[in-house]
Amino acid sequence: MTPDGSKTVDRWRPRVAGGGSRPVAEPQNDTAPRPSRGRSARRQKAPWLYLAPALVILGGLLVYPIYQLGLISFLQYTQAQVSGGEPTTFRGFGNYAELFGDDQFWQVLLATVLFAAACVVSTLAVGCTLAVLLTRVRSVPRLALMLAALGAWATPAITGSTVWLFLFDPDFGPVNRVLGLGDHSWTYGRISAFFLVLLEVVWCSFPFVMVTVYAGIRAVPSEVLEAAALDGASQWRIWRSVLAPMLRPILTVVTIQSVIWDFKVFTQIYVMTNGGGIAGQNLVLNVYAYQQAFASSQYSLGSAIGVVMLLILLAVTLVYLRLLRRQGEEL
């Protein structure tokens, strides 16, 4: 009993083996208000209501064209059907069978994969190297490099392709004069043409990698880098053993996004090789689909190529989303 006559609550449990006693946890207050089911449901629907306008616009801009692309890929759809001279017939998977039976399709697919892989590796190498360089230089050179990189990033693909063609022009380009190559044509050979396009793709793609990786490096605690330097690690060893493992989530994101971008390159190849190179030696899937659909008026075959590319990029995107989810769970 307390002095005022009220009862006290015993907060001690009976003595246990070994002696002593321990306090009992305060009873939970079960009278606290809980959100009703209706309010909880409204909270779950609220984000979708805010996203609804954007989803409607994206549905009109993406879903309908994809539907039309898939539909045309199952039809016999050439210039004769476009002009109304012949009725449209349903071919089913006949266009895909014709496409997969064409040796040129597999050659172009292989060339696209190899070219995209070379672009991704080169872009990551240049971007990561410059990101590390940004952490080593003073503020003025850092600002100049950032502005130059953002200028390359903001340049339209067709403008950049035209500038690079001028730089490597066999008659007026400064590159041949500096290297003493005379009137050597970079776009004549298959490998040299792909190499020239690769340079332009890397030039307009490395700023994204550089800025992203630089932001990740700045987030690494300086004590970790100082400890590695005190242990006698070289800059390459610090990058390979310290920075790269800590930046793995960021490197995963930029790698997969670079794969998606470089796999569907069109403008650079079309402009710099004049539509795919001599006898189609520099074709990639996007340019090949354009030639089939608009140059040869085989719209159904061009649509089938587009569907194949869509499925490949969808698989890459699913891998990308899965990796993002896994990294979010790890964090």
Q: What is the pLDDT of residues 113-132, one digit of tens each?
A: 999 999 999 999 999 999 98
Q: State the pLDDT at residue 82.
A: 79
- Asked which of 35-44, 186-195, 316-325 is least confident by mean pLDDT, the reply is 35-44
Encoded tokens for 111: 């060339």
Backbone angles phi, psi at 78, to 5 degrees: -120, -170
Encoded tokens for 145: 């490099």
Query: What is the average per-residue pLDDT within 40-45?
Result: 73
Q: State the pLDDT at residue 240.
A: 80
Backbone angles phi, psi at 271, to 5 degrees: -75, -45
The answer to whether the pTM exceeds 0.85 is no
Q: State the pLDDT at residue 17.
A: 46
**CB–CB of 198/119 below 8 Å?**
yes
Instruction: Give the type of residue at 59.
Output: G
Backbone angles phi, psi at 158, to 5 degrees: -70, -35
**Tens digit of pLDDT for each residue in 48-86?**
888 888 888 888 888 888 999 999 999 988 888 877 777
Cα atoms in the 13 Å half-sphere on the side-chain side of 42 = 5
- Size (the chain), residues: 331
**CB–CB of 242/224 below 8 Å?**
yes
**Tens digit of pLDDT for each residue in 175-200?**
988 988 888 889 999 999 999 999 99
**Tens digit of pLDDT for each residue in 148-176?**
998 999 999 999 999 999 999 988 889 98
Residues 6, 90: Cα–Cα separation, whole Å: 90
More confident: 290 or 183: 290
More confident: 286 or 233: 286
Burial of 231 from C-beta contacts in 10 A (0-12 / 13-18 / 19+): exposed
What band does 225 get if pLDDT is binned at 50, 70 and 90? Answer: confident
Q: State the pLDDT at residue 328.
A: 60
Encoded tokens for 256: 């997969």
The percentage of the chain sitting over the pLDDT mark of 70, rounded to a whole number, equals 86
Q: State the pLDDT at residue 113.
A: 94
Q: State the pLDDT at residue 302.
A: 92
Return mean pLDDT, the chain.
83
More confident: 124 or 326: 124
Q: Domain 89-330 classified CATH 1.10.3720.10?
A: yes
**CB–CB of 138/131 below 8 Å?**
no
What b/e readout covers 238-261, taking b as 16+ CB neighbours within 10 angstroms?
bbeebbeeebeebbbbbbbbbbeb
Whether the pLDDT of residue 147 is over 50: the answer is yes
Residues 52, 71: Cα–Cα separation, whole Å: 27
- Asked which of 163-167, 300-304, 323-327 is least confident by mean pLDDT, the reply is 323-327
What band does 99 get if pLDDT is binned at 50, 70 and 90? Answer: very high
Q: State the pLDDT at residue 38.
A: 61
Encoded tokens for 295: 């140059």
**CB–CB of 177/94 below 8 Å?**
no
Structural element, H or E, at residue 281: none
**Tens digit of pLDDT for each residue in 251-285?**
888 988 899 899 999 999 999 999 888 888 999 99
Q: State the pLDDT at residue 32.
A: 53
Encoded tokens for 254: 């930029």
Query: What is the average per-residue pLDDT within 203-207?
Result: 93
Backbone angles phi, psi at 107, to 5 degrees: -65, -45
